[in-house]
Chains A and B, each alone.
Chain A
Amino acid sequence: MKVGQLIKKPPLTISPSTTLLEAADFLTKHAVGALVVVDPREPDKPLAVLSERDLVRAISMRMPLSTPVEAFMSTTVVSIAADNSIERAAELMWKNNIRHLVVMEGGKMVGVISIRDVINPEVLQQICRASHHPTASN
């Protein structure tokens, strides 16, 4: 089973000029934990990931919520190729202490997967099947 199979919907994106307050509204409205920051002219190219943790950091620093996300976001995007394994995705999340990975295919962003997508009984079952039958294709 590959990472690309976990993608359920197109990534939710915001522009660098979106404020922290707007980002909080967007996260809450869509009940997600992270948004991808993109230049609207290049929506396939992730510039940063803005997560709930970034907003917690803003509150802890008493940062005005009118601050644009570009003044605040960390520009390290942890991504994974769509044809990579779920185990690799779990490893990347664990090592980087993050809950979301940007999924790339052919140089373009095709989705975001979250830790909940990985910790899923059906997904775990697939991993188990693959390790019991390494030659079987799924």
Chain B
Amino acid sequence: MKVGDLIKKPPVVVGLDATVEDVAVQMVENNVGSVVVVDSERRPVAIVTERDVVRTIARRTPPTAKAAEVGTARDLLTAKPDDDLYQVLDAMRKRRVRHLIVVDEGGRLVGVLSIRDFTEDWALKELSGKVWWPKPEE
């Protein structure tokens, strides 16, 4: 099973100027736990998660702060649609992230997978089958 098979809907994105509040509104309206900040070429610049929004509150940062500055902007974990599910889940666990940015060959955003997408029954079955096998080469 490939990463691309789990992508169900278009990713929720905001532009470089978006604020934390804009991101919160997008999360609620689209019922998602992360929003990707993209540049004009639709390349991911940052990912902002619910946890980032909560941390913003805890740090007393105003909700008018730029979203890209409160999210993860460096060293983003990305995958290609053809990547293997087990390997990307392994990478997500190692990085302790719940969201995976999926990009095409040109680095443009294709979708976002959340850890929840792996709890769908068939995904669990697929993965529990895989853990029997030797660990894929890194």
Q: List chain B positions with a Cβ less than 8 A from chain A.
A: 20-21, 24-25, 27-28, 31, 33, 50-51, 53-55, 57-58, 63, 89-90, 93, 98, 115-116, 118-121, 124, 127-129, 131-132
Contacts and interface: CB of A to CB of B under 8 A. Distances in A.
Nearest to A52: B50
A124 B51 CA distance: 26
A81 to B, nearest CB: 19
Contacts, number: 96
Contacts of B53: 52, 55-56, 59
B72 to A, nearest CB: 15
Interface residues of A, number: 36
B121 A124 contact: no
Given A94-B120, A94-B121, A124 B54 contact: no
Q: Dominant SS at the A interface? A: helix
Contact of A128 (B28, B63, B89, B128): B128
A57 interface: yes
A57 B51 contact: no
Contacts of A115: 98, 115-116, 119
Given A87-B124, A93-B119, A56 B50 contact: yes
B132 A60 contact: no
Interface in A16-75: 20-21, 24-25, 27-29, 33, 51-53, 55-57, 59-60, 62, 65
